[in-house]
Amino acid sequence: MKLLFLYGPAASGKLTIARELATLTGFALFHNHLVVDAVAAVFPFGSERFVKLREQFWLAMFHEAAEAGRSLIFTFAPEASVAPDFSDRAGQAVEAAGGEIIFVRLTLSHDEQERRIGNHDRVAFGKLRSVDPLRELRHQFTASEAAMPPVPSPSIPEPSNQLLRAASLQIGSI
């Protein structure tokens, strides 16, 4: 079992790349907002219960998928309500069940991020869609991303369609 853990800032193309990878690899797509939106339907984002349940669900899914031998792709935007050691514990949950975690970092410039943040496709999952809150939170996002493990795995800058295809093929062969 492999867990491709795609992470990067808001609007970096995580879900777009994850969908392409899922098509090419047959891995299940378990994107961040499946859990975030479900838990936020009951508890306010960032509340103690929200944070606890979100993390329990993520870690349980990783562990169960690893035990079942079901490879998956997870998308993740590091932010302040997530414990700094979450990625370490995600790795432990997968490895304890015999799986392997592969971190893939996505990057983009601030200008490109601000251009994409209002894209219509971001509405479907309640994602951040406004430049002003993005600018206010950017320093928190940067600090949270710094807590992620070093990436010996692929790092994908601002994917174009051609680059996306090449990256997907490269990662799909892992």
**pTM summary value:** 0.80
Residues 47, 18: Cα–Cα separation, whole Å: 28
Residue 143 has pLDDT above 80, yes or no: no
Name which residue leads in pLDDT, 167 or 101. Answer: 101
Residue 135 has pLDDT above 70, yes or no: yes
Amino acid identity of residue 13, one-letter, is G
Average pLDDT over residues 11-16: 87
The pLDDT assigned to 134 comes to 67
B/e letters for 134-148, b = 16+ CB within 10 Å, e = fewer, are beeeeeebeebbeeb
The mean predicted confidence, pLDDT, of the chain is 84
Average pLDDT over residues 39-48: 96
Nearest alpha carbon to residue 114 among 10, 32, 6? 10
Residues 128, 47: Cα–Cα separation, whole Å: 18
The pLDDT assigned to 147 comes to 80
Q: Please give the class, per CATH, of domain 2-168.
A: alpha beta
Highest mean pLDDT (candidates 91-95, 117-121, 127-131, 161-165): 91-95
pLDDT band at 115 (very low <50, low <70, confident <90, very high): confident
The answer to whether 79 touches 144, Cβ cutoff 8 Å, is: yes
